[in-house]
Amino acid sequence: MGWNSWNTFGCEINEQLIMDVADSLVSSGYLSAGYEYLVIDDGWQAMTRENGRLVPDPKKFPAGMRALADYVHSKGLKFGIYSCAGNKTCAGYPGSFGNEFIDAETFAEWGADFLKFDYCYFPDWADPKIAYQKMGQALRETNRPMCYSICEWGKNQPWKWARNTGAHMWRTTIDMVDKWDSVRWVGFDMQNGLSSYAGPQGWNDPDMLVVGLNNQGFVAEGGCTQHQYVSHFSLWCMLAAPLMIGADIRSIDNFSQRLLQHPDLVAINQDPLGIQANRIIDSWQNDMRRQIWVKPLANGDMAVGGFNLSDQPMLLELATGQLPLNPDGQYQIRRLTLDGSKNRRHSLVHGEQKVQLDAFECAIFLISKKD
């Protein structure tokens, strides 16, 4: 869980901005909610290396990366940096291809706790698995613990091999933008069937959150409605996906802040059992599409997400016989809502549970055995 500069700022980043975001992560409650990594994405670098090493742009980061990392650490946060497996980064700055060990050493000396490793300008003749393995080995040899995030866009099915590189998370798709069609495709269409590859110390990553962008920033492309943002965030929590905020938290709207810090949804995401939700229903009827996802939790409860992916209201019917429940068991069900107005338990009646959903709305339930 953390924050990344790319979605809002692209390469328009600087030292003061990162310090201000660090302050906001603490003062606005994000760190307390679990968002501990502050990751600087592409655009921090100078255009040329010095003595073989990557160096920060002196105009953007005059005090240097070590001083900035020290400031971030002083706030109780962890410091993240970006590089690329290719010859250049996506924005055209020096990449790490052939320089993995010296770059890993540099990042460790700066006090980095996280590396996002991208895939632009990767040589056609080279094997990406070997390149990502090489950087993983380089990071381990620094003896500094770092979260290793592979951003290979899912091109070579990294969920099947990335864990062996030492990576802790791996992108499963291309970049997502702040538009419902993009969120739907990346999340609801592309993540099913990947649950067996995720678990403690290694996670499928369907890209950074667009909650709170509201058609602003570098990946603005139409924006989403509140219901769409809730469905987006809820699915990422069900998927046990990394939660990396991309919005400008210094000026984010109150609704988005409350959603990102929703304690029950974050708890589902951070559940120690670490099981990614499976999609059990994806059905169409009269141009309306519904999905139901199920996620077992460590305490024996079950999180169930029902999603209306249509642009018109829907009566969602949840048949308890479709869920992995003991037919003779007695259960309670609790629907989670943002304001807590329906955040109460009632008996789960075997048969069908029905809930009215607006366009693009979701309903997230916690099902537990009765005491």
Cα separation values, 85 from 43, 89, 100, 135, Å? 15, 8, 8, 8
The pLDDT value recorded for residue 317 is: 85
Of 57, 70, 175, 264, the catalytic one is 175
Q: What is the dihedral of CA 15, 16, 18, 20, to 10 degrees?
A: 170
CB 79 within 8 A of CB 73: yes
Of 113, 118, 205, 271, the catalytic one is 118
The pLDDT value recorded for residue 354 is: 83
The rounded distance, in Å, linking the Cα atoms of 311 and 322 is: 25
The CATH code for residues 278-369 is: 2.60.40.1180
Specify the length of the chain in residues: 371
The rounded distance, in Å, linking the Cα atoms of 120 and 209 is: 21
The rounded distance, in Å, linking the Cα atoms of 368 and 370 is: 6
Three-class DSSP category at 272:
coil
Pairing verdict, β 37-39 and 2-4: parallel
CA 335 to chain centre: 23
The pLDDT value recorded for residue 275 is: 97
Structure token pair of residue 310: 């249509």
Judge whether 175 counts as a catalytic residue. yes
The pLDDT value recorded for residue 319 is: 77
Cα separation values, 54 from 13, 39, 122, 224, 365, Å? 17, 17, 18, 38, 48
Judge whether 181 counts as a catalytic residue. no
The Cα diameter of the chain in Å comes to 70
The rounded distance, in Å, linking the Cα atoms of 211 and 226 is: 9
Cα-Cα end-to-end distance for the chain: 33
For helices 65-74 and 15-27, what crossing angle results, to 10°?
10
The CATH code for residues 2-269 is: 3.20.20.70
Helix (H) or strand (E) holding 179: strand 178-179
The pLDDT value recorded for residue 202 is: 96
CA-nearest of 232, 211, 210, 227 to 219 is 210
Pairing verdict, β 178-179 and 78-84: unpaired
- Sorted by where each begins, the domain ranges of the chain are 2-269, 278-369
Structure token pair of residue 321: 């016989």
**Cα-atom radius of gyration of the chain, to the nearest Å?**
21
Q: What is the dihedral of CA 73, 67, 246, 280, to 10 degrees?
A: -40
Output the CA angle 298-281-317, nearest 5 degrees.
Answer: 95
Strand partners, 317: 354
CA-nearest of 196, 240, 231, 188 to 210 is 231
- Kindly give the confidence (pLDDT) of every residue in the chain, 371 residues in length, as a single tens digit, with 9 standing for 90 and above: 999 999 999 999 999 999 999 999 999 999 999 999 999 999 999 999 999 999 999 999 999 999 999 999 999 999 999 999 999 999 999 999 999 999 999 999 999 999 999 999 999 999 999 999 999 999 999 999 999 999 999 999 999 999 999 999 999 999 999 999 999 999 999 999 999 999 999 999 999 999 999 999 999 999 999 999 999 999 999 999 999 999 999 999 999 999 999 999 999 999 999 999 999 999 998 889 999 999 999 999 999 999 999 999 999 888 778 888 877 777 888 888 765 444 444 455 566 678 899 999 999 999 988 76
In 34-189, which residue ranges form alpha helices assigned H by DSSP? Answer: 65-74, 100-110, 128-141, 180-183
